[in-house]
């Protein structure tokens, strides 16, 4: 289990570097989907299987909307890929920063913290995320409604800000 968690976390870091180093929305959206999948794998490995599934589905739905909107506004006939020199150089700089930060923080790691939540007890009746989901829908119902309203308001604000002087969905750039 520790090996799979290490692979998920290393892939998560490399996916974040790929997202941060690429200026093209095509490849950045692919990197974000990869990061979402690996992050949900880490979350599922630590006992949050239902939460990771819900987050992955919601995140992929949101990323689909953002990807379609950014591709519609991007006017790049030949976008820069991960193999181009500026993108590769910025990715190397990000990887060096991550290695430096990991080297500074390496002494504080604690081995048993890599264990999933389900391996800490012998006879667990409930999974680690079932109680949290019940609390989210019972005591946090008002917060879910407020969060949905804020996301809808944010969508309208972003659409209004990026519309510019053109009146319509597609515009000539």
Q: pTM of the entire structure?
A: 0.61
Q: How far apart are CA 54 and CA 91, in angstroms?
A: 30
The per-residue pLDDT for 131 is: 65
Could you tell me which of 101, 95, 118 has the C-alpha nearest to residue 49?
A: 118
Which residue bears the tokens 């997202």? 19
Distance in angstroms (rounded) separating the CA atoms of residues 83 and 27: 11
Average pLDDT, the chain: 76
> Both tokens of residue 120?
């800490």
Residue 89 or residue 135, greater confidence: 89
Digit-coded pLDDT (tens) for 60-93:
777 777 777 767 776 666 777 777 888 888 889 9
* Helices and strands per DSSP (H, E), number in the chain: 6, 0
pLDDT for the residue 96: 93
- Alpha-carbon span 15 to 8, nearest angstrom: 10
pLDDT in tens, 3-31: 888 888 888 888 888 888 877 777 777 77
Section 146-153 average pLDDT = 88
On whether the CB atoms of residues 47 and 118 are closer than 8 A, the answer is yes
């Amino acid at each position: 289990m520790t090996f799979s968690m290490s692979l998920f976390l290393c892939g998560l870091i490399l996916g974040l570097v790929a997202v941060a180093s690429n200026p093209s929305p095509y490849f950045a959206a692919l990197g974000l989907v990869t990061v979402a999948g690996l992050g949900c794998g880490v979350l599922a490995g630590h006992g949050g299987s239902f939460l990771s599934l819900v987050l992955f589905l919601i995140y992929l739905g949101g990323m689909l909307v953002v990807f379609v909107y950014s591709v519609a506004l991007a006017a790049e006939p030949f976008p820069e890929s991960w193999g181009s020199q500026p993108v590769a150089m910025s990715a190397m700089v990000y990887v060096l920063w991550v290695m430096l930060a990991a080297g500074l923080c390496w002494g504080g790691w604690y081995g048993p913290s890599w264990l999933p939540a389900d391996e800490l007890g012998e006879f667990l009746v409930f999974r680690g995320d079932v109680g949290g989901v019940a609390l989210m829908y019972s005591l946090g119902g008002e917060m879910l409604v407020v969060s949905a309203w804020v996301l809808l308001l944010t969508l309208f604000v972003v659409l209004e800000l990026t519309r510019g002087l053109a009146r319509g969905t597609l515009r000539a750039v």
